[in-house]
Structure 1
């Protein structure tokens, strides 16, 4: 019989509840869980498409050693042997784990226990270092603990929501929809968006502050001075519960209003308006994400924000507080178990001998690591220079996501022993592994995750494990046993691991540490299976309860007070002729990290199908780039080639490029290859938002677009980017030289059988050339070539892979790239949930649909996850403005 299972989305830190339904025929469908307090039934485009990413295409299903299939015992024995050998010859710091916010808490816990408690090194770090470690450092400096004070409902209760360094509409879409709905019901609510780009989030902003890169410290320092001089400080709260205000104020006073304007790039009136709005609104939430964290001054940015909330006592109360929005589904869970190299499990500090002793005694460990391990960037430096001899990478793809990515790849190539646990066989990282271990994916694995509001939820399995794939915690425990630590790693289930994790959180705690879920220390398998989402803390013998921290003024520094942290604005980078542009990196709406999951969905690939760079029209004109041209971007670290998207949303002098594309989907688009390994001195988080680059038009001799039923392979082109499409694949191409035989090129690239002959179309005047290969009535592949970026209706061309072509004239129409009047081109996809294109939306506007709601009623666009609503509104405004001219 069909069954439904409640689980949690594996994408961003919102932690949405999902109901997965498995039908009798094995088909899976998903919907939002209306009872989950994170999303109340809402899902974004990625969450809605989860069922489309569950196929076994490309899955790693068996252990491999040196590229050959191996058994689990042989592979695990080899991993244990090589790690033990390295430890014996070079010491425990010669080995390392690089883990991921994609792991479940139970996986994370076992990895941390093995490395820090039994191997005796703290060389375990996580890709969460790249997204939220500056928040951790800022919290610990201010609060004495890594504590997120608030909860999601604060966004709905606030009268002012400040979004800084957060493209909420695309990166946390469900929270954006909650905020948008709250603002619609209370129009007096104000939203301020602080971002160098005019992102889709700015659609609901009452004020958009297009701040200069890394201007955040100056802005919030200026706010602190304004709050002080205007008498808005909560003197009672400051004097009773904090220390260091005078020092923080003195540091903040270094810039006058002229200096603030120069440092932030904002007009003085904008500064005064923002300061006054913050001053006069009591219920303020300041949400921040990667635009704050991913900076060489990320920790100082966090503390500059927190200083303003501490100064006004606007923290820990409904609708008030600083709020860190984490990027990954279990970045918070990783923090709880000490997944970062400078932390211990259960929010204990590796620097404190008391905490090390508590963890050692609880685990029965021989000796807990006594000093912080290597943070991510330093870890891969140590791999490169030979200090680390054996490295185990789990559920992440650092050859794409790490800064200075080409150097990271070279380090892995040179490392004596690399183990990778993953669900996919071919990634940019797995190709350098000596041992590959097949892991469980979403829908197969079983455990817990913690979202940005400290809410722990279950990820439940609803699919059988495919072939030999196994849980990450099991892999770790089996290696631990083979290393001689059997007694400490006898866990039989994720429920047992969670119980141990909960017990450690309450061990000798008595309220001295913020993280405490001791109430679940005795949980059994049945109770674990039924575990409802709950927020921590939940100490022993207490019931679950919703709550905030710090309204009572009790913090976790030894004196019980919060610390104001004096911070100074960093010096702005001056543009130079060699590197005149500032590159900002980030996410797009429908893809996730390095596309190992979302790249499987045709629907998610339809919105943005190739790597791109946003560039302001004046900059594009200066370097001779037109919309849809190719652009070469260079930094001292590397080079990429991407498509130009010319838009006034981008500030002059600034570029934006997405981080997702990799060597599996594009020829040269690993954006983090451009990013230098510059890190925040406190958090070790890389600076990915302020990269000095140069850009120029990439002049190709021939441009191409192709569709095919078979996945393109061995594309002999100077530029290529592929994306999944309905019934096949699509490819963007560019060539720097002539091909001797395009028919043979197509046969190789698209795996076209020899018996299939093409029909063609050539326009000698324009230089355009077309080939289409049909197998019976089915289009097998089509190639469109031009001396300029190819002007072909992409969505229409892709759709031809799924329809029959019995009529010969229709086949020639395909070859010509011209949809007939009876098959209008929907245009580039705007709404991924319902596959609605821009041409359909503009047609509805011409037909009288002049609001987002009207377009939704006509086409359904924007009525599911809602993350395209701002884009739809922009199309409406553009059409109506053009009609009025």
Structure 2
């Protein structure tokens, strides 16, 4: 039923107060996005952390960039991207690890294509099990067996060290841990990795030569590593390659631990990903006290007696009844999270009060008690920060349609209705619009790695964005971090004291001070650990297509994009198709221990033994249709994925699952099973709350 804003917000506030009074702040959880503006993330973090005192705040950045953040923290003591997009223009070698940049960051791929077609062509390494557009242009393409990324990286490190392609001076001045790494990778020869990764040893040696002989090496990492077995350990080994080669802090030499969403960096900076705002360390009492001073609250008001609650744990707490109110903003977990039948069962619980704040009636919104219609990026004002720390101002171009409101206005309205106060009785959230929120964030960021104090809306109205830190000392921008060594790894300053790269267990302040008293970059070694499901089975991996973004909340309503990629498909190697007697266009079913999916077959673009399915597609009636009934094959890839996550970053392992493939109907043959509905896009004329 439709409602109005006062009624909808009144219901949310009433339920919030009732739950806080009867069950405490831990009964409320927030699950947000990587697509809001900085001002919205920061406001949400303040009202959740200091207003409610909720320990449960995370975003769908847990699915896309949690490992990027964790890998940077493990290597450099703090989050913060070392490199710059400008390095694409200057590198003489570019290595892309699990990063199909052609279909995930198409504009950056165009930048690489300009280099590849220009006079000074960089050499390109692509590590991907599929023959992507990147792989087709690569100097060296490695298609390792799924789940073996750490074995491959350890072999690359072994070969770089063996062949003397290290920078001993840089290692001595700026790092700790090199000898432990040397010992760890000593037996990890190219021949050893070849057997594990199912790759020619000569190809691994060729990749090593590309990396080891480069004068200016740029590496990028994304979901092929982040959503796979040993995610953080693998991403950290990429950092290690740069640390032992001294490939940091200068033009063309850097690391880009990439984001999968446009404002995931802001989520991390502002603490909407579960961490404390400003890259503060929740285990450091002085960091907590400093944040409390910024917010003018007592330190005890900021819950910090344990690690942040990650997204999959939030849903588990909702499943068991500890979390009774779940506020979901700008994300669609009913399609994007693993083991979707379980997620649907959580969202349909009578005891769970669910709020969905989004542009359209997504699959997740179908389960909500209250749906709040929001403005999209061109209908509101705010700032956003790219993966390379570049801050941009986006100003409203048109008014929101119908009764839709900016996310910031919704959060501000909730804070005002709840009456959140600071310790002096003043309003905790004391800003009234985006520019005031930005100024409040600047005060929170002051003196931290992501220092925004030299920025302003007026300054950002210039010709392009500016990279943080931007301060009195660096008033124009900071192109690259770590030009003169690591800045934020000292035990008094660091964002984390580290975790065991195999178990994920916190290592603690005592360990950190002992191994890194001077605050250098940490070279963190890790052994290869096989994935939980047997490596000799056929394996399912998931990914993207150029024509859609995430769960198609917006792209599924663009007729041209729907026409270009109307329905889910299944890719296998041509050799596997011949072995199984299958042909291009056959309707096939993929089955795992979690569920099944049907799609038309494509062949020839993936390594043997691998099944690839794009993850964008939701239920049969697209978009936002009814969920598949029990036993009915779906079309969402994550129907098939078990609830497993990296022990360090807590990022779900969406890339590696044992699977079986069966024929449903021959191409052009009679129907023998349900087929996806591809009637086109749904274009609601009004976004309304209910």
Pairwise same-fold verdict (TM > 0.5): yes
Change over 3 Å in CA distance of 1:351–1:121 after alignment to 2: farther
Q: Could you tell me whether the CA contact under 8 Å between 1:164 and 1:292 is conserved in 2? A: yes
State how far apart, in whole Å, the 1-side matches of 2:186 and 2:573 are.
34
Residue 361 of structure 1: SS of its match in structure 2? helix
Q: Does 1:562 pair with 2:521?
A: yes
Q: Could you tell me whether the CA contact under 8 Å between 1:624 and 1:697 is conserved in 2? A: no
State how far apart, in whole Å, the 2-side matches of 1:518 and 1:236 are.
34
Residue 720 of structure 1: SS of its match in structure 2? coil
**Correspondence for 1:56:** none
Residue 544 of structure 1: SS of its match in structure 2? coil
**Correspondence for 2:510:** none
Q: Displacement, 1:410?
A: 0.7
**Correspondence for 2:477:** 545
**Correspondence for 2:214:** 281
**Correspondence for 1:21:** none
Q: Displacement, 1:454?
A: 0.6
**Correspondence for 1:125:** 58
State how far apart, in whole Å, the 2-side matches of 1:692 and 1:450 are.
37
State how far apart, in whole Å, the 1-side matches of 2:570 and 2:225 are.
21
- Counterpart of 1:362 (choices 287, 294, 311) is 294
Q: Displacement, 1:250?
A: 1.3
Change over 3 Å in CA distance of 1:78–1:574 after alignment to 2: closer
**Correspondence for 1:594:** 551
Q: Does 1:665 pair with 2:622?
A: yes
Larger radius of gyration: 1
Q: Does 1:290 pair with 2:218?
A: no
Q: Displacement, 1:704?
A: 8.8
- Counterpart of 1:501 (choices 431, 437, 441) is 441
**Correspondence for 1:91:** 24
- Bigger shift: residues 615-624 or 321-330: 615-624
Q: Could you tell me whether the CA contact under 8 Å between 1:124 and 1:340 is conserved in 2? A: yes
- Bigger shift: residues 405-414 or 257-266: 257-266
Deviation sequence 1:490-539 (CA, Å, 0-9, x none): 32211110111111101xx2xxx32101123xx4x766766951110012
Supply the RMSD in Å over aligned alpha carbons.
Answer: 2.3
- Counterpart of 1:451 (choices 386, 398, 403) is 386
Deviation sequence 1:566-604 (CA, Å, 0-9, x none): 111121566589xx3211101101111111111121211
Deviation sequence 1:282-332 (CA, Å, 0-9, x none): 211111111111123110011111111101111111111221221101001
Q: Could you tell me whether the CA contact under 8 Å between 1:680 and 1:686 is conserved in 2? A: yes
Residue 613 of structure 2: SS of its match in structure 1? strand
- Counterpart of 1:472 (choices 394, 397, 407) is 407
- Counterpart of 2:465 (choices 513, 524, 533) is 533
Residue 175 of structure 1: SS of its match in structure 2? helix
TM-score by length of 1: 0.69
State how far apart, in whole Å, the 2-side matches of 1:206 and 1:527 are.
41
State how far apart, in whole Å, the 2-side matches of 1:113 and 1:570 are.
39
**Correspondence for 2:601:** 644
**Correspondence for 1:695:** 661
Residue 722 of structure 1: SS of its match in structure 2? coil
**Correspondence for 1:63:** none
Change over 3 Å in CA distance of 1:576–1:339 after alignment to 2: closer
Residue 114 of structure 1: SS of its match in structure 2? helix
State how far apart, in whole Å, the 1-side matches of 2:404 and 2:119 are.
50
Q: Does 1:654 pair with 2:654?
A: no
**Correspondence for 1:581:** 538
**Correspondence for 2:514:** none
State how far apart, in whole Å, the 2-side matches of 1:377 and 1:619 are.
34
Q: Displacement, 1:382?
A: 1.1
Q: Could you tell me whether the CA contact under 8 Å between 2:81 and 2:256 is conserved in 1? A: yes
**How many residues of Structure 1 are paired with residues of Structure 2 in the alignment?**
638
**Correspondence for 1:169:** 102
Q: Could you tell me whether the CA contact under 8 Å between 1:118 and 1:365 is conserved in 2? A: no
Q: Gapped runs of 5+ residues in structure 1?
A: 1-67, 706-715, 729-885
Q: Does 1:613 pair with 2:570?
A: yes
**Correspondence for 1:722:** 678
State how far apart, in whole Å, the 2-side matches of 1:568 and 1:722 are.
46
Q: Displacement, 1:421?
A: 0.4
Change over 3 Å in CA distance of 1:101–1:159 after alignment to 2: same
Q: Could you tell me whether the CA contact under 8 Å between 1:610 and 1:723 is conserved in 2? A: no
State how far apart, in whole Å, the 2-side matches of 1:221 and 1:249 are.
10
**Correspondence for 1:381:** 316
Q: Displacement, 1:255?
A: 2.6
Change over 3 Å in CA distance of 1:700–1:183 after alignment to 2: closer
Residue 563 of structure 2: SS of its match in structure 1? helix
Q: Displacement, 1:188?
A: 4.4
Could you say which structure has the greater relative contact order, defined with CA pairs below 8 angstroms and 6 or more residues apart?
Answer: 2
Q: Does 1:238 pair with 2:171?
A: yes
Q: Displacement, 1:605?
A: 1.9
Residue 632 of structure 1: SS of its match in structure 2? strand
**Correspondence for 1:754:** none
- Counterpart of 2:196 (choices 263, 277, 298) is 263
Q: Does 1:405 pair with 2:340?
A: yes
State how far apart, in whole Å, the 1-side matches of 2:433 and 2:154 are.
49
Q: Could you tell me whether the CA contact under 8 Å between 1:458 and 1:532 is conserved in 2? A: no
**Going by fraction, where is strand more abundant, 1 or 2?**
1
Q: Could you tell me whether the CA contact under 8 Å between 2:76 and 2:489 is conserved in 1? A: yes
**Correspondence for 1:353:** 285
Q: Could you tell me whether the CA contact under 8 Å between 1:216 and 1:301 is conserved in 2? A: yes
**Correspondence for 1:684:** 650
Q: Displacement, 1:550?
A: 1.2
Residue 393 of structure 2: SS of its match in structure 1? strand
**Correspondence for 2:139:** 206
Deviation sequence 1:163-184 (CA, Å, 0-9, x none): 1101111111111111111122
Change over 3 Å in CA distance of 1:519–1:254 after alignment to 2: same
Q: Could you tell me whether the CA contact under 8 Å between 1:120 and 1:369 is conserved in 2? A: yes
**Correspondence for 2:38:** 105
- Counterpart of 1:344 (choices 276, 279, 285) is 276
Residue 345 of structure 1: SS of its match in structure 2? coil
- Counterpart of 2:359 (choices 417, 423, 427) is 423
Change over 3 Å in CA distance of 1:368–1:500 after alignment to 2: same
- Counterpart of 2:119 (choices 168, 174, 186) is 186
Q: Gapped runs of 5+ residues in structure 2?
A: 422-426, 491-517, 629-633, 685-690
Deviation sequence 1:829-862 (CA, Å, 0-9, x none): xxxxxxxxxxxxxxxxxxxxxxxxxxxxxxxxxx
Q: Could you tell me whether the CA contact under 8 Å between 1:514 and 1:556 is conserved in 2? A: yes
* 1:224-235 pair list within 5 angstroms: 224-235=157-168
**Correspondence for 1:801:** none
Q: Displacement, 1:606?
A: 2.4
Change over 3 Å in CA distance of 1:97–1:182 after alignment to 2: same
State how far apart, in whole Å, the 1-side matches of 2:644 and 2:251 are.
37
State how far apart, in whole Å, the 2-side matches of 1:381 and 1:421 are.
21
Q: Does 1:438 pair with 2:378?
A: no
